[in-house]
Structure 1
Amino acid sequence: MEDIGWNGKSPHEEGPNFCRLVMVPSTHMEREVSMMTEIPYEANDLQDKWREDLVAMVQRQHERWPFKEGKRRFTSKTNMVHMRAVLLNPAYGFTRPQATASKQVAAQRSNAVSADGPIPPPPPPPVLSSAPSPPPTLPPPLPLALPSLQPTTVQTEDPVGTELEHGAEMDFGSCALPGSAVQDVDLYVDFMHPSADLERFAYSVTLEQVGALNDLTGEWQGSTMQLIERLHEKAPGIEDALDITYPDPAHPEYLRRLVSAAAGGLLRSAPDAPSIHIPADNVLTLHVRFGQMRAAATAPTPGATSAPGTAHGQRCATASGSCASQSRTATAWLAEKAQEEPGYAAFKAGQHRIQPNAAVVASWQFAVQFCERYSQKPCPELSDSCQPWSLVRGPHIKKKDVQDALGVGSMWMAEAQQAVHILRQYGEGGSSPRQAVIAKCASTSEKAGARDLLAYLRMQ
């Protein structure tokens, strides 16, 4: 076959100034392009990436996400450790964007040439001749330096400091990291018994997030059935007939019903709603009102004769009931006294709500000062039985009576006392005031939350 020039003439017809056009097959070029678009991610590609970057990487190839349902399904709140592990696992097929991959391959090819030895000199200029010359031979395509597909160990953001081996099976549902699908909740539960006795317990439970998150306030929705299951695991006497209520998020002075159950049927009862509102500080209060089964079971049978030796037991039972009645009297008397205190309305209005730092400090100080004023002091409304005596006539008021009158738990009161103790040292008017502490605690715009504000004070 004879070579043809640019004007369609043969070299014999064109003369000594003939220029040859050589057609090069594009097989190698197409193979390189196809390989460039399928380069998996490496650990260096994900360094210093924010959550938004990782979410964008997954969304670009969303169909390759391996988990379509359950806890591990992909959302904008998926754990960052989980996203990194999936992106770096070659079995799932996530790859770099085409532009990024092309630049990477070009750099790798450049490094491969320079690593083999000196760059070869350019070919000499062609010698013009009227005689046809054989077509030049093309060098074989350079091998592409593709990243290794072997499992690699990458240091993640797990606070425990563990390492994840890509390709290994992981249980991401158990990770309770910020922004994950589960969160810890501080649960305060008031138990109202048929005898009107009030008991308060504090638990820490882990709940799944359901529904949309409110990123502005940090509030979220928890699984109601899971909350009932956790309460069933921890709470005493929860097998009795009961009603469970909780403060309405918009109007805390009103109670919403969570679930009603017959004796032994709590786990089989359907809650009023599938989800429950969790405040931003992850503190939830429940009110459990038991039925009359326990009182009926313990009531004496009419006309029953007492056996010898039971008079002492009856007297003890009578004394115990008298003590319980007096404890309720102390709580009621303290509740009336609290309502007369300046700042009580603001204290009650701020319960179970996100408040500015200054309001949180005011609530702590109100509760602690009220407790110091009345705890272990004589109560004039009580008789002189069943209560420890003080030097002044009258029984002591217990700290629990003060907590019940204010509607707070023992854990909350202990944290408030610790915060006030620190403020009396470093706060305004303290023994060693610090301007940073004073400014933070007096802020009316910042809403750090009681837990974070207490953590800040503990660092002083």
Structure 2
Amino acid sequence: MSPHPERPYTVDDLTVNKKALVKFVERQIGKWPSSEKKFSSSKHTVSDIRRVLLDPGNGFTTNLPPVSSPHPPKQGGGSQTEPQEHGSIAPPSPPPPPHNGANEASCYHFAVSVINLRVYIEDIRISPAQRTVAILSLNVSRKENGSPVVFGRDFLAALQKSNGAIEIPSTGPGSVRLSFPDPEDNEWKVPFIRITHGPTLVATFDPETIEIAQDYRFKLQIDNVPFASNQSNASVSSDLAPTAEALQGEVSATSELHSTPANSNPETDLAVQFLRKELATRDGYSSFADNRGKFMSNAVIAADWRFAVDFTKQYNRIKSPVKINKESIYTALGVGSTWLSQAHKATQLIDKHKADAAVTTELAKDEVTGSGALYEFLVNYDKANSTQG
């Protein structure tokens, strides 16, 4: 049987475990962008790998048959995980099978951007209900109608690093359920993540991807449900195993689901303290810090990108007076690895096309938007206007 023609990856293609994503990259390793740090399966997160594979500017393709989602993101089939003991290494989960009889093209665009999602959290496990607002920086793809789509795993990982992190009981069996209002009737809730706790700690995502509103606002409700032990048909997700790779930033039982911080590294703590002192005396930092989690004009977004990039270039990998790495810089700046990686690429594209009228006009726009829209414009403009050697 002849292979299918090469085509760009879609969101549906990448609802697989990390081992499969690594194989996708290694198949075309020459396309790994120079703007990213050298590819390493242990240092790059699932979110990072998906972002690079989906970015049309990088040119990654596949000859696998198209995988179509049988349902819209709010109703589609999800991925589950079997219970696993802490410290165990889970085998990789198999790729999802193609939808029977589905031959339509994927409903997702290939482009990926980063947005700041404002999440209104209502925790009804306690009385009175606790209400919190958190700003999450997330990778999104878009449906043909422009609606943003995010992975449940990415949502949970970002949530657990925010001020809205979910408190997970450390003893006793049970499940915590995350839901959002049904778009047809807000009085009804749509569950999409279940975290089972007890002897093991497991997150189940159903659906795997969710659609969010164009205004980047999301209402989240947290409640308790009876302990779910019937996992016989579930597949094991390597993303949840507390392995060394998982501790690099994946959704894991020990590092992501518990809202209490993991054991700190004294060397890293010293590095972050040093960097924060340096930031406090740096021109532009007050504005940069105040802008986190806000929608801004393109000029301000570009200025924040450059501030973070310049700071990273100056301090990354210095060894004196303390040893600095990118993880320390992420923490000191208060940004994620995805945001900083896109800041590097966006700044390069701005410098490359700074004389082009279309780019200068876009940067001068007064309307307040998210950084994802400007990043997507720059990537698409570069792709359309770069000369082929």
TMscore range, shorter length: 0.3 to 0.5
Greater strand fraction, Structure 1 or Structure 2: 2
Instruction: Report the TM-score when normalising by structure 2.
Output: 0.39
Larger-gyration structure (1/2): 1
Q: Which has the higher helix share?
A: 1
Higher relative contact order (CA 8 A, sep 6+): 2
